[in-house]
Every structure is written in C-alpha cells, then in structure tokens.
Structure 1
Amino acid sequence: MSVAGVPRAERPSLEAMRMFARSPVAVGGLVLLAVILLVSLVGPLVYVADPFDIVAAPLSPPFSEGALLGSDQQGRDVLTGLIYGGRATLTVGAAAALISVVIGITIGAVAGYFGGTVDEVLMRFTEFFQVLPSLLFAMVLVTLFSPTLATVVLAIGVVSWPGTARLTRAEFLKIKQYDFVAAELAIGARRGRIMWKVILPNALPPLVVSATLAVGAAILFEASLSFLGLGDPNRMSWGLMIGSSRSYMLSSWWAVTFPGLMIFLTVLAVSLIGDGLNDALNPKLRERR
C-alpha cells in the first residue's frame, strides 16, 4: 500500500526486468539470440536433411545448384550444416556453462562461508586450476576419453569454473557479515539453510551475469577444440565446420565464414544480454535511473 501519496516500492526483480527492457542493446541481443535458438531448435524439424550428406560438388560457391550457401570440401551443404550444427554448439555452450557454474558456486560458497583453513585449501585448489593452460588441459581430457559431445562438454566445464568460484567466494564473504545472516544464526538456523537459502539468493545477481557470459566462452572453447580436430566427428557443429574446412580457408571462404559468423553472432548476443543483466541487476545503477 502507498503511504501519504508515496508509491509502494517495486520488487527488485520487476525493477530489473523493466531496466533490462529499457536497454535497446540488451533487448537487441535477446532478440538475436532468440532468432538463433529458433533456427537451431526448430529448423531441423522443418528442414529435414542430413548435414553429412553430399549434395553438390566439393567446394561449390554460394548459390550453386543444391547448395544455397555453397558446399565444403566433401560436398556437404553449408546451409544444412548451419541449421543442424547450431543445436550441438548451443548444447555444448549451455551444458558446459552449467557444469562450470555449479562447480564454481559450490566451491566458492563453501570457501566463503566457512573461511579459515577450508577457505585456504579450496582457494589453493582453485588457483591450481586457474594457472593451468585451459585449452591444453581440455585437449588432454578430450583425448584421454575420446572426442564425443559429452566429453567436450565435461572438459570445458571442468576447466572453466575458477572465475565463478572466486566471484562466489567474494559475495559470500561480503554477505555473511550482514545483519539478516546474523539473525538467522541467532534463531538457530542450520548452515545449509543459511548458505543456500539466505546468502546464495542475495549473491545471485553477479552470478547470473557470470553464468550468461560463461555460455559464450564455452561456445568459443568448443569452436577452438573443433578447429584443432578434437570435436565430436559424429555431430555436426559450427566449430566442426570451421575445423574441417580450415585448409581451404583462402580458396573457399564460405565454408568457414558462415559458421564463423554464426559463432560471432551467438557470442555477441550472449555478451549483450550479459551486459544488460549486469546493469539491470546492479542496485546502484537502478537507483541512479
């Protein structure tokens, strides 16, 4: 209810949604990502084809018969590869980011809440992973367990969590000092409740932004592995399209340009959404506006 003509304060989530909606850049990124998702998820249901089928002469240029966007060195249709490859690429990005965020939040939350020796041990463990060459470590994991979509997802998730862990730890160290956390301790709340139901919800805004950006990073990581020949050879992806045609990059630009453009647009859309969320979930920016 309003008091003496003063309007009732809106819920922070509603304010954040409105601020996000007022950002043309963030909305543009959301629309772009929605279009890419629609093509990648619905496209294979409408346009039924096998992306590994040979439909034209090898390295046919765009607008050739049977290959609207040209064909690669094996005669596979580039357009079909784009439609079907998006599903695998986006799946890797989302799944690897999820694994990374779950590991990072768990380790960061435990370290930040308990502090002391637990914090020291977990942070040294995090630093060990942080100083490892991520791409090289992922290559070793994929090589050891064979290059499949599942191993690529696992490898990217395992090497990408340290940043999220450090961010989560910093948020927990800050929030656990607040009065409402002390009140929960005073009434005898269990540690698990305080960590996951009291502190974590209040630490979510920067973690949501971090998770969003992790999707884009995972997509680029998958493209790097596929470019090096370590992607799943049985699942078409944009990274696999670039990797398999890298030797023909100068003579047949379309075979790598179009999948590279899709990766660029997807990462751009995710980054724009992440920036919009960062502004919308930042209470100081909301107060200024």
Structure 2
Amino acid sequence: MTTLETGSSLIAAPAPAILPSRPAASPARVALQQFSKSPSGVVGALLLIALVLCTILGPLLYPVDPLDIAGAPFTPPSADAWLGTDYLGRDVLAGLIYGGRATLTVGTVAALITIMIGVSVGSLSGYFGGVIDTTLVKITEFFQILPPLLFAMVLVTLFGQKLTTITVAIGAVSWTTAARLTRAEFMRLRNLDFIKASRAAGAGNVHLILRVILPNALPPIIISATLAIGVAILFEGGLSFLGLGDPNTMSWGLMLGQNRNYVLDAWWTVTFPGAAIFLAVLAVSLVGDGVNDAINPRLRRRT
C-alpha cells in the first residue's frame, strides 16, 4: 500500500498487483505442441490409431474366427463375406482384424528389442572408447555385412516358426543402425562441459551413461525407434511371404504368404493384407516425420 499527498491529507493508494509468473512448459508438452503442428505427423498418428482401434474393437463388431471356414474357397467380396474368402474359405476381413494384432505387436516388440540392443552396444562403445569401442564396432560391422533377411530366415529355421521366434529374430538382425547412431551421439556428448562437470562432481559411469548422457541422446534414438517399427512389420511380411511365418497365428504377412500363388485368381486375398501392411508402414513413417519435427531443435528454430 502506497500513500499520495493531496493538500493536507494523505490518501492511500493500492499497491500494484503482482501477476503470478506462468510456469515453463515441460519438454514433453513442447514436443507435443510441435508435433501437432506437423500435418504429416498428425495424419500418421490418426491413421495408426485407427488401425489399432480396428484390431481392438473389430472382434466385437465382426465376431468371426479367422481360422474357421466361412464359405467356399475364393468367394469374391459379398454381403456374406465382406472382403471375400481365401484359398481355404476363411474370411479375409476376420483375418485382417485378428492378424493386425499379431503384425502390430511384432513390429512394436521387435523395434523395442532393436533399440535395446542398439542403445546398449552404442552407449558402451561411444562412452568408453578405446578397446571396448574397437571391439564393439567390429561386432557391429560383422552383423551389418550380414544380409538381415537371410540371417532372420536362418534363425527362424533353426528355432522354429513361432511368432516369438520371428519377433526376436527381427530384433536381433536390425540393431546395427541404432547402435551406430547411439555411438555417434555418445561420442559427441561425452566431452561436453556439463558431462565433465558431472564427472568432476563424482558421478560414476553408470550414472553418467543412464542419467546424464542418454537423456540428451534420446531425440534421434526415438526417431529411429519409430522407423524401426515399420521395418519390423515389413520384415514379418517378408518372412511370411517366403513361407516362414507362424502357421498357428494369423497375421497380415501370413495372409500374404499363404495366398501369394493365387493373386491372379483371387486378387482380394493378397490386395487387402498388402494394403493393410502399406498403411501401417506409412502411418509409422509419417509419425516418425512428425516426431522429428517436434524434437529436432534446428527445425524448431525455423518455425
């Protein structure tokens, strides 16, 4: 409260109000706002959400077992079978609904395995350097020169055509890109001033790797993870197309593989699963572009 002198009297004047400062937005909120400004990212996210909802809610709206015989083989799309039947008479739409669960699960889990292996190898190599770096780089180069699809085929053939084996095989042959990316980020960050300050303050190697360097190296790793999902979906489709899919679990790749010989006689048996794989990979790629726009500081400064 302040006072103003008017003639011989003093008049009390209210003190100026102090407006509360607005709290700074969290990095996650800023990234989400930037992502919402990316048209491709928003379209990809909506498409991906639609595919996931179809696999979750589809069985409630269309309760048909994808492995049951729903009609005569190669029945064209009709009111009885909306997307037709395959070479065994199984409903194609039911296969798409239930197969989407397996395909999207394989893509997500295989991508997680890819990132876990790649980040582990790349972080150790980039942080310690020296003999450890040389050894891990040689191992990475060895796996990198192996044809990934051929290596995955060997693993699936040796350990059985199960969905779990296929998922692990895809993750085991796809980690080299993530490892090289993580290694480059760790080598760039490990000699910066704030890392040296943390080390001088007594921080151990584990703390520096997991709590200091890795969070700052996450943006390109997250982008790589989103793209790895699309690669894993294509891998599963390729293995199934070559006859190495899990025959006991319906997936989009299995539908392609089992009906590949009848594409000229019954186009719907291959077209619809192929379109589903295309849309899923496209959605993941668009989401990856949106994530890149959201967390890339160079692109953010341009907007």
Pairwise same-fold verdict (TM > 0.5): yes
CA-to-aligned-CA distance 1:163-217 (integer Å, 9 cap, x gap):
0000000000001121111111001101000001100000000000000000000
Between the aligned residues of both structures, percent identity stands at: 59
Relative to structure 2, which stretch is displaced further, 101-110 or 35-44? Answer: 35-44
- Partners of 1:215 and 1:267 lie apart in 2 by 8
Secondary structure at the counterpart of residue 235 of structure 2: helix
Q: 1:96 aligns with which of 101, 105, 110?
A: 110
For residue 218 of structure 2, what is the amino acid of its counterpart?
A: L
After TM superposition, the structure 1 = structure 2 runs for residues 1-289 of structure 1, keeping only pairs within 5 Å, are: 10-63=25-78, 65-289=79-303
| C-alpha deviation, 1:7, in angstroms | 8.4
Q: Which of the pair has more CA radius of gyration?
A: 2
Verify the 8 A CA contact 1:96 1:157 in the aligned structure 2: yes
Structure 1: 5+ residue stretches without partners: 1-5
| C-alpha deviation, 1:98, in angstroms | 0.6
CA-to-aligned-CA distance 1:43-99 (integer Å, 9 cap, x gap):
224433310111111001111x53110010110000000000000001100111110
| C-alpha deviation, 1:42, in angstroms | 2.6
CA-to-aligned-CA distance 1:113-162 (integer Å, 9 cap, x gap):
00011001000000000000111110010000110000000100000000
- Partners of 1:242 and 1:10 lie apart in 2 by 47
- Partners of 1:193 and 1:250 lie apart in 2 by 59
- Partners of 1:260 and 1:247 lie apart in 2 by 14
- Partners of 1:57 and 1:201 lie apart in 2 by 56
In the superposition, the TM-score normalised over structure 1's length comes to 0.95
For residue 60 of structure 1, what is the amino acid of its counterpart?
A: T
- Partners of 1:164 and 1:153 lie apart in 2 by 17
| C-alpha deviation, 1:13, in angstroms | 2.9
| C-alpha deviation, 1:11, in angstroms | 3.8
Secondary structure at the counterpart of residue 245 of structure 1: helix
Verify the 8 A CA contact 1:108 1:168 in the aligned structure 2: yes
Secondary structure at the counterpart of residue 29 of structure 2: helix
- Partners of 2:265 and 2:61 lie apart in 1 by 32
- Partners of 2:298 and 2:24 lie apart in 1 by 15
Relative to structure 2, which stretch is displaced further, 84-93 or 6-15? Answer: 6-15
Verify the 8 A CA contact 2:95 2:250 in the aligned structure 1: yes
Verify the 8 A CA contact 2:110 2:229 in the aligned structure 1: yes
Verify the 8 A CA contact 1:212 1:273 in the aligned structure 2: yes
- Partners of 1:211 and 1:84 lie apart in 2 by 24
| C-alpha deviation, 1:15, in angstroms | 2.2
| C-alpha deviation, 1:9, in angstroms | 5.8
| C-alpha deviation, 1:14, in angstroms | 2.5
Relative to structure 2, which stretch is displaced further, 25-34 or 6-15? Answer: 6-15
Verify the 8 A CA contact 1:89 1:238 in the aligned structure 2: yes
- Partners of 2:50 and 2:113 lie apart in 1 by 25
Relative to structure 2, which stretch is displaced further, 148-157 or 35-44? Answer: 35-44
